[in-house]
């Protein structure tokens, strides 16, 4: 520690921390405000899949490494005046990238992996300004350590101010900026803040250059070198909360929708955990935090193993987010406790950024390649459990042998139940598995590492033995895919929502019957089998699913499908999985890529019926819902054509923004909330469909059908590519 008495009483001693706190607060605010802002700007180009945000986070975390490395190098090899010149030069260069926008001429290419295109788009659009901002947190703290400010020997308190600024920006975006302003005006305000930052950086740099200097205050021996063990521990402590944040974000994005608010909440709590832990006054006692941590890991394990069900409701989502916050608090408390002497500050932050980026790399790149489900959450939960292991919990060779011997013996009843007695009930077998795992853990309770290993062996056996009814499972950039069989029904699920089904008995039929949302009694089917449906010469379907609607195709009709995910197309066209396409529309082409981008390039296409059926897994692809999107659909519609939106959703009243745009465009608008009849036919599901046309005459006999109710605009602001507020349509 270094003596700081006397400096706080001077005028400069009071002003210096104010200057530095304001600088780091503004910089962090700009840094984290730009993340949801630019994500909102690019969504019309790359879609709204949950993986878009995890990939964006990978980009931001990777650039953060570069910024921290740059900060580490210039503070190590350049004097403070030279640091000021170099950094302000880079800041000036970043001004040429303002205001933020999609790079001119950029187009999505369906043939190129979406993850690389997303990374390239962020790099070209926001890379340089973000790189400048990412270097500021360690650099400003380093400059403060060279100033004459109070507590200059331990500048870590500024990291709390930095994360407070980040948290403020993240919450302000969905709660204030997005509901009130469009992306263009938000971007203009952000650019003004970035310009103002230059003056604050200059003031902070001058304060550092005029300070007494680090060596002038040093009274103790030089700090010792940092060991590889310390670096490894910092990396793990940074990796776990970063990876867990992304795993939780992917889970809730899949269940609720891929929107900036859903992305912002976990990230805000991630930052809040830094604010609360990087302080000399801990919020909670270590014992309480440890107990909460163990409980949080238990709940996360239940969710990520599927024991809570494939879909987590809103209460479950709150629980998952709360559990993640406890994990982040525990890991970041450990990280703060492991912080080095201030002279290793930039190295500490560099390693932290590497650990965080490794979490992003694991979730965004490695997990989709290695796993066919959202398994990264479970893997990270296991890694998180390692953080509470004491020396007594280390697994020795003897304990490993004991656990490996007890595990298979404990799993034997489960093996017999499946292989010998043929028990196939999923719930029974799952409960048996957990019971046997608990039993072996209790039997070996005096040797906890062996108990844990034995329980894990039982769980692994269960994962391989317990039948899931799955025929196919895969994962792409746009989500998880699962084909399964149960009670005579073949189903396809994308994320947590079933998007198509076929009776196994229909596989032998020449024309299988569509089910669920596409049942013959449901609204979309009745449109396609009505007089206007049979008279249509061309039909376009945005969102392929398993191709259920194809079997409403009439002879001589030209049908075309639009699908962003090539895996979905492979599933739909494989008769071993579903036979709708092969039986009814095998010759109908599928245009791969974002439907809006593809349709924009098909200037000569005119459809008599165009169906927008791309609202998957309760997500709301806002770029397919805006006023500009509806205008594009009308441009691809014949004068008497009909536009259908399938908008079944657990959480959002998507008909509201559609009605606003329809009224502004002078369209006739109808809606049907079909209740379904699952009590009579399990394949007859509820659905909600909006039907639009330029005139009532274009609707034919459907115009007088009482099941189709007229909808009018609620008078609220029209959704555009520049402005869309998803919170306003929560049901």
Q: Which two tokens stand for residue 522?
A: 């449901």
Would you state the pLDDT for residue 4?
39
Residue 11 has pLDDT above 50, yes or no: no
Q: Residue 473: helix, strand or coil by DSSP?
A: strand
| Nearest Cα residue to 449 out of 389, 405, 408 | 389
Distance CA 541, CA 159 (A): 51
| Nearest Cα residue to 153 out of 13, 331, 341 | 341
The yes-or-no answer to whether 11-217+226-386 and 514-729 have a common fold is: no
What is this structure's pTM? 0.74
Please write the tens of the pLDDT for every residue from 226-271.
Answer: 788 888 888 889 999 988 988 888 887 766 655 556 667 888 888 8
CB 660 within 8 A of CB 711: no
Residue 3 has pLDDT above 50, yes or no: no
Region of 296 on the Ramachandran plot (φ > 0 left; ψ -120 to 50 alpha; else beta): alpha
- Band of residue 308 on the pLDDT scale cut at 50, 70, 90: low
Q: Regarding beta strands 709-710 and 687-693, do their DSSP bridges make them parallel or antiparallel, or are they unpaired?
A: unpaired
- Band of residue 105 on the pLDDT scale cut at 50, 70, 90: confident
- Band of residue 712 on the pLDDT scale cut at 50, 70, 90: very high
Would you state the pLDDT for residue 570?
94
What residue ranges do the domains of the chain occupy? Answer: 11-217+226-386, 393-467, 514-729
Region of 186 on the Ramachandran plot (φ > 0 left; ψ -120 to 50 alpha; else beta): alpha
Distance CA 476, CA 454 (A): 34
Helices and strands (H, E) in the chain, number of each type: 26, 12
R_g (Cα) of the chain, nearest Å: 29
Greater confidence, 115 or 516? 516
Distance CA 122, CA 103 (A): 9
Distance CA 657, CA 162 (A): 37
- Band of residue 616 on the pLDDT scale cut at 50, 70, 90: low
Query: What average pLDDT does range 326-351 have in this prediction?
Result: 83
Please write the tens of the pLDDT for every residue from 261-302.
Answer: 666 788 888 888 887 887 767 777 888 888 888 888 888 887
* 11-217+226-386 topology per CATH: Growth Hormone; Chain: A; (1.20.1250)
Q: Specify the residue for token string 């920006």.
A: 169
Distance CA 632, CA 601 (A): 10
Residue 114 has pLDDT above 80, yes or no: no
Most confident segment among 11-20, 298-307, 403-412, 671-680: 671-680
Residue 218 has pLDDT above 50, yes or no: no
Please write the tens of the pLDDT for every residue from 56-74.
Answer: 777 887 888 888 889 889 9
* 514-729 topology per CATH: Rossmann fold (3.40.50)
Would you state the pLDDT for residue 221?
43
Q: Which two tokens stand for residue 605?
A: 């296409």
Q: Count CB atoms within 10 A of the CB of residue 445.
A: 10
Would you state the pLDDT for residue 393?
57
Would you state the pLDDT for residue 294?
85
Would you state the pLDDT for residue 679?
84
């Amino acid at each position: 520690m270094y003596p700081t008495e006397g400096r706080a009483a001077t005028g400069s001693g009071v002003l210096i921390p104010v200057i530095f706190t304001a600088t780091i607060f503004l910089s962090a605010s700009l840094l984290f405000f730009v993340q949801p802002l630019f994500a909102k700007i690019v969504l019309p180009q790359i879609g709204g899949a949950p993986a878009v945000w995890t990939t964006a986070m990978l980009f931001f975390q990777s650039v953060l490494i570069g910024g921290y490395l740059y900060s580490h190098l210039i503070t190590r090899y350049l004097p403070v005046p030279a640091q000021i010149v170099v950094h302000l030069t880079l800041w000036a260069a970043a001004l040429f990238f303002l205001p933020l926008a999609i790079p001119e001429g950029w187009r999505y290419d369906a043939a190129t992996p979406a993850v690389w295109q997303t990374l390239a788009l962020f790099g070209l659009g926001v890379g340089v300004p973000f790189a400048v901002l990412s270097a500021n947190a360690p650099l400003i703290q380093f400059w403060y350590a060279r100033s004459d400010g109070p507590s200059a020997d331990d500048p870590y308190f500024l990291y709390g101010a930095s994360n407070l600024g980040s948290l403020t920006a993240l919450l302000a975006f969905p709660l204030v900026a997005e509901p009130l302003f469009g992306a263009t005006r938000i971007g203009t305000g952000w650019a003004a803040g970035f310009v103002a930052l230059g003056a604050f950086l200059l003031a902070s740099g001058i304060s550092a250059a005029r300070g007494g200097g680090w060596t002038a205050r040093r009274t103790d021996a030089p700090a010792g070198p940092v060991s590889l063990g310390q670096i490894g521990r910092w990396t793990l402590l940074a990796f776990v909360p970063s990876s867990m944040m992304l795993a939780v974000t992917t889970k809730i994005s899949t269940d609720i929708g891929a929107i900036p608010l859903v992305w912002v909440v976990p990230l805000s709590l991630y930052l809040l955990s830094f604010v609360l832990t990087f302080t000399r006054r801990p919020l909670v006692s270590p014992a309480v935090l440890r107990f909460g941590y163990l409980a949080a890991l238990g709940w996360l394990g239940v969710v990520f193993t599927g024991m809570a069900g494939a879909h987590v409701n809103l209460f479950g989502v709150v629980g998952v987010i709360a559990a993640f916050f406890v994990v982040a608090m525990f890991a970041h408390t450990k990280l703060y406790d492991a912080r080095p002497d201030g002279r290793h500050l930039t190295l500490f932050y560099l390693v932290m950024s590497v650990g965080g980026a490794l979490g992003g790399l694991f979730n965004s790149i490695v997990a989709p390649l290695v796993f066919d489900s959202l398994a990264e959450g479970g893997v990270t939960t296991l890694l998180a459990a390692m953080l509470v292991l004491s020396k007594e919990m280390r697994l020795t060779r003897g304990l490993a042998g004991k656990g490996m011997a007890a595990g298979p013996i404990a799993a034997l009843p489960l093996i017999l139940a499946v292989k010998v007695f043929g028990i196939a009930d999923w719930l029974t077998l799952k409960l048996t598995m957990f019971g046997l795992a608990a039993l072996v853990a209790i039997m070996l309770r005096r040797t906890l590492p062996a108990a844990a290993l034995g329980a894990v062996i039982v769980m692994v056996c269960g994962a391989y033995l317990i039948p899931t009814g799955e025929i196919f499972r895969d994962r792409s950039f746009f989500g998880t895919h699962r084909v399964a069989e149960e009670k005579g029904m073949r189903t396809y699920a994308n994320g947590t929502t079933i998007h198509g089904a076929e009776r196994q008995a229909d596989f032998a039929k020449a024309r299988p019957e569509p089910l669920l949302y596409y049942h013959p009694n449901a609204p979309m089917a009745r449109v396609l089998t009505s007089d206007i449906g049979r008279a249509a010469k061309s039909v376009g379907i945005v969102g392929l699913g398993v191709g259920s609607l194809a079997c409403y195709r009439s002879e001589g009709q030209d049908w075309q499908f639009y699908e962003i995910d090539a895996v979905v197309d492979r599933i739909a066209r494989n008769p071993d999985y579903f036979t709708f396409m092969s039986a009814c529309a095998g010759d109908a082409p599928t245009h791969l890529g974002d439907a809006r981008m593809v349709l924009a390039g098909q200037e000569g296409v005119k459809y008599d019926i165009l169906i927008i059926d791309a609202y998957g897994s309760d997500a709301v692809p806002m770029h397919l819902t805006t006023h500009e999107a509806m205008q594009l659909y009308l441009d691809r519609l014949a004068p008497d054509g009909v536009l259908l939106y399938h908008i079944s959703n657990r959480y959002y009243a998507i008909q509201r923004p559609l009605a606003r745009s329809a009224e502004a465009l002078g369209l006739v608008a109808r809606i049907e909330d079909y209740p379904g009849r699952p009590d009579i036919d399990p394949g007859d599901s509820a659905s909600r469909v909006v039907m639009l046309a330029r005139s009532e005459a274009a609707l034919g006999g459907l115009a007088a059908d009482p099941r189709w109710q007229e909808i009018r605009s609620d008078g609220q602001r029209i959704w555009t590519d520049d402005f869309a507020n998803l919170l306003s349509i929560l049901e």
